[in-house]
Amino acid sequence: MTARVAVIAGDGIGPEVIAQALRVLDELRQRGVDVEVWELPLGAEQYLKDGTTFPLELRDEVRRTCAAVLLGAVGDPRVPGGEHAHDILLGMRTSWDLYANVRPVRALHDRLVPLRDKTRHDVDLVIYRENTEGQYVGAGREHGRGTAAEIAISREVHTRRGVERLLRAAFDFAQERGWPLVMTDKSNAIPAQGIWRRVLAELRAEYPSVVVEQLYVDALAARLIEHPERHRVIAASNLFGDILADQCAALAGGLGLAPSANVHPAAPGHIGLFEPVHGSAPDIAGRGLANPLGAIRSLGLLVAHLGHAAEAARIERAAEEVLARKECTPDVGGTLGTVAAGQAFIDVLRAV
């Protein structure tokens, strides 16, 4: 059965890296990955033209008819309020209840690991970040902006349902892999985050084979630098997961390589959103400098979501090989531009 995939190239370097990911997808289609691509012209250009962000009826059609969405990046300095980016990205995450942001972090070559005496084998973990609650719900208010008495208040929201389902997804993955799990919070300073520890204590009895640890986020951030090899699965709130995932991406070669999946693990077949995490990078947009590997590896997560695990594994092997050959962009040790790096990847993919 043909799976329909919506593609939103978006802003900045998004169209450049997504173009290379789609070239890779064309290769996979020749090998039996049966997908139909539906490209949606959403982003800052459309918003500036007619005010369109992501119309509700279109978002509903995508939800009904597509198995997955591949997103490049959203964010443009010409839209300082980020209205279109909010509606596109957060609209999909929240309206489709994509409660788990899954961030695999795996160093693909020793030279990319910036830590002394550590190799690529020491950086191999997955972060499960809660994706619909926490500090990103937009709850709060401001008083007296621009005055000496200015006050800004932000609230965070953690529900038992939200915490439990994210932790359960992390537990399930850890149990499947035979990996240890660490849950992180800051409940010693923010008592409301104690819900994470309470739910963790309840769930761990259901997963006796999983080695479980709980660490305050500042301690975990430090230990990830000192001993990244001690960590395999990390479960975190929206804010802490966001921060730690970018920190860990730096340990594996940088954001240009980092893929992500926004999924609803409790319901197999639920639509998923897949995107590189480097952002729109407007400072290098249009210059042919963007690293396409984050987008290509996100495509790998997407095809795995569609049931093509072998092709996803081929993508990872090809990424390792182009980095080993230095047939990649300058940010990861090569000399190629975006298009040439995409072609180098395809050449290797055909051989692995």
Q: Which residues are catalytic?
A: 136, 186, 218, 242, 246
Task: Extract the tokens encoding 267.
Answer: 């319901």
Strand ranges for the chain from DSSP E = 3-10, 35-39, 68-73, 100-106, 124-130, 134-143, 151-157, 181-185, 212-216, 233-236, 261-263, 272-274
Task: Extract the tokens encoding 107.
Answer: 């160093």
Is the CB of residue 258 less than 8 Å from the CB of residue 249? yes
Using CA atoms, how far apart are residues 229 and 215, in angstroms rounded to an integer? 16
User: DSSP letter string over 254-281?
Assistant: -GGG---EEE-TTSTT--EEE--SS---
Q: Any idea what the Cα angle at residue 129 is, between residues 17 and 189, rounded to 5°?
A: 135
Q: Any idea what the Cα angle at residue 169 is, between residues 165 and 170, rounded to 5°?
A: 120
Q: Is 10 helix (H, G, I), strand (E, B) or coil?
A: strand
Q: How far is CA 106 from CA 22, 113, 211, 261, in A?
A: 23, 10, 21, 15
**CA neighbor of 59 nearest in space, from 97, 91, 98:** 91
For the beta carbon of residue 186, count every other beta carbon within 10 angstroms. Answer: 17
User: DSSP letter string over 29-90?
Assistant: HHTT--EEEEE---SHHHHHHH--S--HHHHHHHHHH-SEEEEEE---TTSTT-HHHIIIII
338-349 vs 293-305: helix crossing angle, rounded to 10: 40
Q: Is 230 helix (H, G, I), strand (E, B) or coil?
A: helix
Is the CB of residue 135 less than 8 Å from the CB of residue 237? yes
Is the CB of residue 346 less than 8 Å from the CB of residue 23? yes
